[in-house]
């Protein structure tokens, strides 16, 4: 019987899966999630993105725009397992939502378009999952579309993601004739008739028998090369039993030594059940991942196992303000919490009471009495805990590493149309930043304007629209401005700075000598420029260790505003080479001040360059519009990296300054009669040409 809210079923930890759905925008990730909810009986009917009837894309803006903006958590049951599923955004502007979700997941399903294969943002989220060590399986979707091809998609997974794909299915039929798959593990066919609720299992079709056997042999050989138990059986029998193959696939997936690849068409409900079987068979439970690690109050590192009887430990990864109160989403790593229980916010040192615990089904909730290790739940009652906070048992404090947040790259000035609404706007900003830490709000010291900063033009549009809809405020919004950076091109050596202050009582004395140079190696392969490195070569105890740390802190203070235009400074290495102290007047404060002022003086004497954020743009256009698009990209200071013809279209890849892309969507539609599309991926920073800088681009 189908139920609208997930039934609260108690499962052991080995039958629990905390999974995410990752993909590039429009790869079909939300449709996959909706089909999973329908197939598992968590919903009565199939939600459709184009109809605005999806469970996970419940926000009005998501339904209007047809994209996922906010990560949504849902739960369902399959084959005796509970699956907690988080549907994540696919647009580059909401990459921080993906980052916070990945921090609390044990595994993930990566969805790829059967026509496009690996797209820019799917590559980015894959790298994010790599950083968090999250095991993945892959689902090649939309095989019913014209131009879809599993082998081409798998080749792009192998080449662009640099992983070993372990393809466990063979499609039956191509494009609009796609009707099912051959399971290469069991050598059975799974066929979905038009309009059928589920598949019919049968033997491998005669016309595909030879190809299926060839592909299974390739799969078995690839697995045997990487798994010792499988290799032993393969050497004895020249093949692998289905159970041995499943066990090896599970081990390779969880160790990150291979990626199981399945295929289907979520829109036509083909391939979802085998995907769920693979998720519970190959992806890890909370017991299969390393125990969470954190720091005690004394700075000692400790582990907390996924055990309901261990001291309670949870990470707050999402906050959502609703009309009925503030919902705080937790991943419980250890222990048990009861409704009405008291927890410690380890970072803030405050205790809070949890008044209610909720199982979440996107925007609907079912109240439960407790949450245990492995659970992902929402709680009501936390008043001040912020995203990234560690909640733990008051008598066993432990501080977990919070999710990282990227620096904003685009800003707009926002003001209330009526001066009487300024207070309400300030409250709305505070609520926005609480829900989304990748947003930042500041007051421009020169103009007095309130400036909202975020990860892209769309990110800011969504934030402003949220203020208009949820709060009912009319606001004026300025033109977008990008976030520039400054970096050292040629530094200075031996800059001496003495900080001496005497105004009655204890004085301040600090003497430091700094070398400043560009960071060796420059940008990383992802295009990111490291912010700062600090080293000390002081010998003989001329500057005590605690003062060296103070100098480093002062240098970091100085990076906030550079001499070129007050932008943050990145990409430099500072070395403390010498210094001196005073027996009475030296202190950590004095050396921190000296470090800050010394680095400011050194930057003033160095040669600096202005940097601007750049993005990798992938434009898909018809053949007859390529010339116009290339010309437009060149006019926007774009550097074309290459183009590929595919299914009547051309994919053009270029690196373009972010400042030149404002309004590009409208321009592209007009140049391609509405047939062109584009996607972007952050690609770090590059120097601003002097001609552009002279024209005032940095203001």
- Feature table: binding site for GTP: 23-30, 87-91, 141-144
Give the strand order in the sheet containing 180-183: 169-172, 180-183, 188-191, 200-202
Asked if 441 and 450 count as a contact pair (C-beta separation under 8 A), the reply is yes
Sign for the CA dihedral angle at 405, 116, 627, 624 comes to negative
Q: Residue 314's closest CA among 285, 283, 352?
A: 352
Reduce the DSSP state of residue 481 to 3 states and report it. strand
Residue 514: count other Cβ atoms within 10 Å of its Cβ: 26
> How many residues are listed for the chain in this entry?
699
Cβ neighbors of 237 (< 8 A, separation 6 or more) are none
Q: Residue 128's closest CA among 77, 94, 178?
A: 94
Cβ neighbors of 388 (< 8 A, separation 6 or more) are 315, 316, 317, 347, 402, 403, 437
Q: Which two tokens stand for residue 97?
A: 């939502």
Asked if 158 and 123 count as a contact pair (C-beta separation under 8 A), the reply is no
Reduce the DSSP state of residue 183 to 3 states and report it. strand
- Pick out the residues of the known binding site: 23-30, 87-91, 141-144
Residue 422: CA atoms inside 13 Å, Cβ hemisphere, count?
Answer: 5
H/E/C letters for each residue in 314-340?
EEEEEEEEECCEEEEEEEEEECEEECC
Asked if 102 and 298 count as a contact pair (C-beta separation under 8 A), the reply is no
H/E/C letters for each residue in 246-271?
HHHHHHHHHHCCCEEEEECECCCCEC
Residue 337: CA atoms inside 13 Å, Cβ hemisphere, count?
Answer: 35
Cα 390 to Cα 460: distance, rounded to the nearest angstrom:
28
Asked if 524 and 600 count as a contact pair (C-beta separation under 8 A), the reply is no
87 φ, ψ (degrees, to nearest 5): -85, 115
Cβ neighbors of 428 (< 8 A, separation 6 or more) are 467, 470, 471, 473
Asked if 199 and 35 count as a contact pair (C-beta separation under 8 A), the reply is no
Q: Residue 84's closest CA among 265, 338, 330?
A: 330
DSSP 471: I
- How far does Cα 468 stand from its chain's mean position? 27
Asked if 516 and 598 count as a contact pair (C-beta separation under 8 A), the reply is no
Cα 699 to Cα 697: distance, rounded to the nearest angstrom:
6
Asked if 35 and 265 count as a contact pair (C-beta separation under 8 A), the reply is no
Q: Which residues pair with 415 in a beta bridge?
A: 476
Which H helix or E strand runs over 75?
A: strand 72-78
Cβ neighbors of 482 (< 8 A, separation 6 or more) are 409, 410, 411, 612, 613, 657, 658, 659
Asked if 253 and 246 count as a contact pair (C-beta separation under 8 A), the reply is no
Asked if 272 and 335 count as a contact pair (C-beta separation under 8 A), the reply is no
Q: Which two tokens stand for residue 685?
A: 């920073």
Asked if 120 and 681 count as a contact pair (C-beta separation under 8 A), the reply is yes
Q: Residue 618's closest CA among 113, 32, 108, 102?
A: 113
DSSP 108: E
Label the pairing between strands 607-622 and 677-687. antiparallel
């Amino acid at each position: 019987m189908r139920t609208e809210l997930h039934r609260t079923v108690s499962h052991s930890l080995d039958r629990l899966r905390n999974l995410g759905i990752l993909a590039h925008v429009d790869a079909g990730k939300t449709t996959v999630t909706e089909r999973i909810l329908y197939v598992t009986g968590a919903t009565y009917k199939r939600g459709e993105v184009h109809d605005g009837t999806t469970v996970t894309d419940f926000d009005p803006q998501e339904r209007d725009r047809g994209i996922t903006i906010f990560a949504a958590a849902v739960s369902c049951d399959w084959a005796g397992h509970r699956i907690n599923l988080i549907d994540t955004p696919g647009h580059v502007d909401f990459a921080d939502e993906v980052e916070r979700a990945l921090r609390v997941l044990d595994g993930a399903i990566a969805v790829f378009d059967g026509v496009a294969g690996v797209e820019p943002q799917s590559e980015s989220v894959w790298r994010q999952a790599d950083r968090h060590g999250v095991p993945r399986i892959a689902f090649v979707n939309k095989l019913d579309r014209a131009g879809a091809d599993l082998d081409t998609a798998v080749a792009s997974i192998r080449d662009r993601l640099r992983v070993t794909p372990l393809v466990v299915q063979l499609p039956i039929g191509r494009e609009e004739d796609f009707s099912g798959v051959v399971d290469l593990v069991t050598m059975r066919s799974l066929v979905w008739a038009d309009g059928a609720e589920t598949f019919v299992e049968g033997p491998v079709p005669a016309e595909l028998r030879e190809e299926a056997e060839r592909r299974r042999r390739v799969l078995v050989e690839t697995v045997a090369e990487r798994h010792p138990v499988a290799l032993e059986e393969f050497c004895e029998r020249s093949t692998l039993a289905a159970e041995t193959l499943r066990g090896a696939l599970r081990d390779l997936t969880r160790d990150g030594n291979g990626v199981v690849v399945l295929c289907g068409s979520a829109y036509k409900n083909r391939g979802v059940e085998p995907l769920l079987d693979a998720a519970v068979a190959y992806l890890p439970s909370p017991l299969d991942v390393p125990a969470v690690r954190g720091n005690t109050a004394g700075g000692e590192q400790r582990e907390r196992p996924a055990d309901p009887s261990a001291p309670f430990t949870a990470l707050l990864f999402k906050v959502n303000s609703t009309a009925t109160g503030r919902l705080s989403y937790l991943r419980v790593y250890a222990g048990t919490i009861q409704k009405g229980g008291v927890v410690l916010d380890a970072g803030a040192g405050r205790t809070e009471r949890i008044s209610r615990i909720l199982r979440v089904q996107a925007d609907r909730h079912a109240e439960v009495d407790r949450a245990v290790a492995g659970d992902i739940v929402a709680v009501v009652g936390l008043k001040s805990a912020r995203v990234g906070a560690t909640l733990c048992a008051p008598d066993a404090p432990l501080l977990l590493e919070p999710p990282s947040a990227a620096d904003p790259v685009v800003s707009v000035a926002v003001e209330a149309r009526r001066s009487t609404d300024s207070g309400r706007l300030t409250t709305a900003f505070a609520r926005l930043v609480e829900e989304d830490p990748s947003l930042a709000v500041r007051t421009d010291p020169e103009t007095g304007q309130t400036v909202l900063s975020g990860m892209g033009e769309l990110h800011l549009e969504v934030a402003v629209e949220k203020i208009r809809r949820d709060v009912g405020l009319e606001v004026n919004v300025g033109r977008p401005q990008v976030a520039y950076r400054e970096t050292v091109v040629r530094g200075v050596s031996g800059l001496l700075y003495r900080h001496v202050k005497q105004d009655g009582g204890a004085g301040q004395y600090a003497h430091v000598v700094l070398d400043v140079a560009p960071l060796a190696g420059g940008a990383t392969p992802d295009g990111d420029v490291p912010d700062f490195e600090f080293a000390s070569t002081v010998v003989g105890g001329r500057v005590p260790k605690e003062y060296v740390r103070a100098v480093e802190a002062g240098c970091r203070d100085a990076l906030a505003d550079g001499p070129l235009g007050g932008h943050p400074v990145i990409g430099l290495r500072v070395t403390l080479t010498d210094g001196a102290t005073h027996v009475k007047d030296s202190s950590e404060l004095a050396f921190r001040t000296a470090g800050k002022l010394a680095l400011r003086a050194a930057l003033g004497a160095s040669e600096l360059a202005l940097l601007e954020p750049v993005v990798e743009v992938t434009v898909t256009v018809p053949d007859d519009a390529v010339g116009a698009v290339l010309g437009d990209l060149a006019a926007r200071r774009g550097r074309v990296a290459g183009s590929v013809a595919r299914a009547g279209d051309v994919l053009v890849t270029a690196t373009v300054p972010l400042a030149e892309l404002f309004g590009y969507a409208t321009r592209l539609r007009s140049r391609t009669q509405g047939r062109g599309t584009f996607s972007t991926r952050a690609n770090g920073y590059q120097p601003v040409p002097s001609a552009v800088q002279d024209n005032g681009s940095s203001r």
